[in-house]
Amino acid sequence: MDAARITRLGLVVHPVRELSAALETIGRWSDEHGVELVQVPAPGQRRSVAALGDPATCDAIVALGGDGTALAALRAGAAAGRPVIGVACGSLGALTAVTADELAGALDRLTAGDWTPRMLPALVLEPAGGEALTAVNDIVLVRHGAGQIAVTVRVDGELFIRFAGDGLVVATPFGSSGYTFAVGGPLLAPGSGAYVLTPLSAHGGCCPPLVLGDESRLAIGLEPGPGGARIELDGQVHALVDAHAPQSLAISRRSDHATLVTLGGGETLLAGLRRRRLLIDSPRLLARDDREAALAAEPESGQVGT
């Protein structure tokens, strides 16, 4: 992106969150700098804030909302080869670089080229005989209604596990802090170059989460139960699978798929999880901290008050 030639910015907006301050800021900034604003088509958008525009004609895409909005913007930006800057209209997340209050300054830095690209990997889902699909966070195969689904998982051609249950989650390092983390899967460090498969509510057997190398390839056989199954990409339902209609799917990892704008000094993934109390220290250690803080606050022994 040539900083001196920014003429159009794409917007992806949260469907319901309060965005008036952020929209006012970016509208005023674009008027002052002669930059056109368009709204980029993306899943989950239910309100219009600008004329629709092709992301390929934009110099960058601005996501106003939270991590879910940033994910939608990253999907659109990756397809067009455009960077995305995530703006938190609420609490900061893993993919949002700045808050709404910092938006004008962030746009100035974007225009000046004072930013660093952070390349994010993706997962590639290849249905047998179908078009390849991508996800930045996670791919979820899950039952759609009553009845379990049956899953067969092979890694690089070798059988790993067969199980019946609710389904499975396959996640990138960023995605591992979401759905995967919620169901007891491991966190992956952002620079690990890995991805992880985590079964959902497996009924019996031994089905541990599996961390895979960047070049490993999953082959998944999916047998929907009576209620069918669904395929979700980054939290959005992509397709419904009819009951008793087996599917063969392949999943692999792609490096450097999407570009996230970073401005330096940002919060790390682990620091963000601690701030949001998704990672919490042992109660015993927290109690020890409280005792030590109380002792430090006590007056010195023998000190005479005035």
Catalytic residues: 67
**Nearest Cα to Cα of residue 182 among 235, 133, 233:** 235
Distance set, CA 294 to CA 80, 289, 291, 298, 301 (Å): 56, 9, 5, 7, 14
Q: Which residues contact 2 (CB under 8 A, 6 or more apart)?
A: 59
Residue 46 CB-density burial (10 A; 0-12 exposed, 13-18 middle, 19+ buried): exposed
* Phi, psi angles (nearest 5°) of residue 43: -60, 140
Sheet holding 210-213, edge to edge: 210-213, 194-200, 167-171, 138-143, 229-233, 236-241
- Give the H/E segment covering residue 296: helix 283-297
Alpha-carbon distance of 228 to 143, in angstroms, equals 6
CB atoms within 10 A of CB 137: 30
